[in-house]
Structure formats: C-alpha cells, structure tokens
C-alpha cells in the first residue's frame, strides 16, 4: 500500500481511488453522487494519511483474558478544513476518525489577483502536539494552501500534511517552495490551469458541485 514520506508528494494510485475519482470527474455525475464519492474518497485518503500516527501500548481485558494491545497515543490528530469545499472531505475523514479534533480556516480567492484572503480561523487546543491534516479538494495555484499553512504554523502547528483530491505541478511546486516541510497526498496530478486558475481537465468547481451553487 502507498504511504507518504515527509516533505514528499504521494499520489494515491489504489484502484478504488482511481475508479471513484473518474466517476467524480464526470460532468453528468449528480450532486448527491458527487457528495457520496467525495466522502468515500476522503475516507480512503484518511486511511493512508494516518498511517504514521503514534501508538502506545495499554493493558486491556478481552472476554477471555488480559493482554497488552496498541492504541493511538493522543492528542494525535487534527483535521483542518479550508472552507468551504474542504468540508466535503472532512465528513469522510471523521467517519474513519471520529475522535479527531477539527479546525476551520476560511479563505476566498480574489478574482482579479487569484490571491487568497483569510476571513475566518478557529483551531483546536494543543495544535502543536497534533498531526494536522489540512483538507481542500483542489491544489490549483497553491496560493490558498500556502496561506493556510502559514497561518497554521503561526498558531503553533508543527506536523502538517496537506490532502487534496486533485493537484497541479504548479501548485505542488508552490507548496514545495513555501512549505518544504509539508507533505502532500493527492489522488491525481492534472497537467495545468486555465486563465481563471481552474485545474484542467479537473472536475469543475468542487465547492459548487458539492453544495449545488454557482
């Protein structure tokens, strides 16, 4: 199975992930199906992203005897959703890890400059002790992701992983330049961007497709 390496890019090539991503890309996929697919993909991504969470040994009692067994050593995990589209990925990850702390950062992209502007930030306690998995469906120019990561570091985050459905070489290079210590997990890397900063061929605007907006 695929595992990420610190400060590296990992493209998840599991057959189920690639199949569901193809369905997600289709223009005729309904809103309901799109939401379900994003949730399913985020659950599969979470499985890979949490592969290196720390464990501790505890004593438990089974129906038959006492034994030593492994459990997560907390506070281990935090999901940070880049609003609003990140919430689509957040749901599936919480299905797999309902114990995780959750934070939100609100960013919008200036239509003229394509630069990210922050409008909201709410983070859980002890963020410096947690693996922070930042989720956003698209890593396009990389500007929004870089701003989000900078703010998280300013608030004390030290161990950060960025997870997205789609990425571009431009976005990956921008993150590598601005945050070389942050690993990226993605389901695919598409060739490039159009004049409006959208990933091509991509899957359209993830937020609009998730929330049925324009």
**Residue 204 annotated in ligand binding:** yes
Burial 14-30 (b: 16+ CB within 10 A, else e): eeebeebbeebbeeebe
- Is 185 a known ligand-binding residue? no
* 205 assigned to a ligand binding site: yes
Residue (of 212, 203, 205) closest to 20 by Cα position: 203
DSSP annotation string for 58-89: EEEE-SS-EEEEEEE-SS-EEEEEEETTHHHH
Residue 207 annotated as lining a ligand binding site: no
Structure tokens at 36: 């379900």
Residue 8 marked ligand-binding: no
The answer to whether 181 is a known ligand-binding residue is: no
Q: Is 206 annotated as a binding residue?
A: yes
Is 88 a known ligand-binding residue? no
Asked if residue 197 belongs to a known ligand binding site, the reply is: no
Six token digits for residue 52 = 């290196």
Task: Determine contact, residues 166/138, Cβ cutoff 8 Å.
Answer: yes
HSE, CB side, 13 Å, CA atoms: give it for residue 106.
Answer: 4
DSSP lists the bridge partners of residue 163 as: 135, 185
Q: Is 136 annotated as a binding residue?
A: yes
Determine if residue 142 is labeled as part of a ligand binding site: yes
15 annotated ligand binder: no
Is there a binding annotation on residue 163?
A: no
What number of H helices and E strands is found in the chain?
A: 6, 12
Binding site for uracil, by residue number, is 199, 204-206
Binding site, by residue number, is 84, 109, 136-144, 199, 204-206
Binding site for 5-phospho-alpha-D-ribose 1-diphosphate, by residue number, is 84, 109, 136-144, 205
């Amino acid at each position: 199975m695929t595992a990420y390496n610190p400060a590296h890019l990992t493209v998840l090539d599991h057959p189920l992930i690639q199949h569901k991503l193809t369905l997600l890309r289709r223009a005729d996929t309904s809103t309901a199906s799109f939401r379900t697919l994003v949730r399913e993909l985020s659950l599969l991504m979470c499985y890979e992203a949490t592969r290196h969470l720390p464990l501790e040994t505890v004593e438990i009692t089974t129906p038959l005897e006492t034994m030593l067994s492994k459990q997560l050593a907390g506070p281990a995990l935090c999901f940070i959703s880049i609003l609003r589209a990140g919430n689509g990925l957040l749901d599936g990850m919480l299905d797999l890890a309902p114990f995780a702390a959750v934070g939100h950062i609100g960013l919008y992209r200036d239509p003229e400059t394509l630069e990210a502007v922050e409008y909201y930030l709410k983070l859980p306690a002890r963020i410096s002790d947690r693996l922070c998995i930042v989720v956003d469906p698209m890593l396009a120019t990389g500007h929004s992701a870089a701003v989000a990561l900078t703010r998280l570091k300013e608030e004390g985050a030290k161990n950060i992983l960025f997870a997205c459905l789609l990425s571009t070489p431009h976005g990956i290079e921008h993150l590598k330049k601005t945050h070389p210590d942050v690993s990226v997990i993605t389901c695919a890397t598409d060739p490039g961007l159009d004049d409006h900063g959208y990933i091509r061929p991509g899957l359209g605007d993830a937020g609009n497709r998730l929330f049925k907006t324009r």
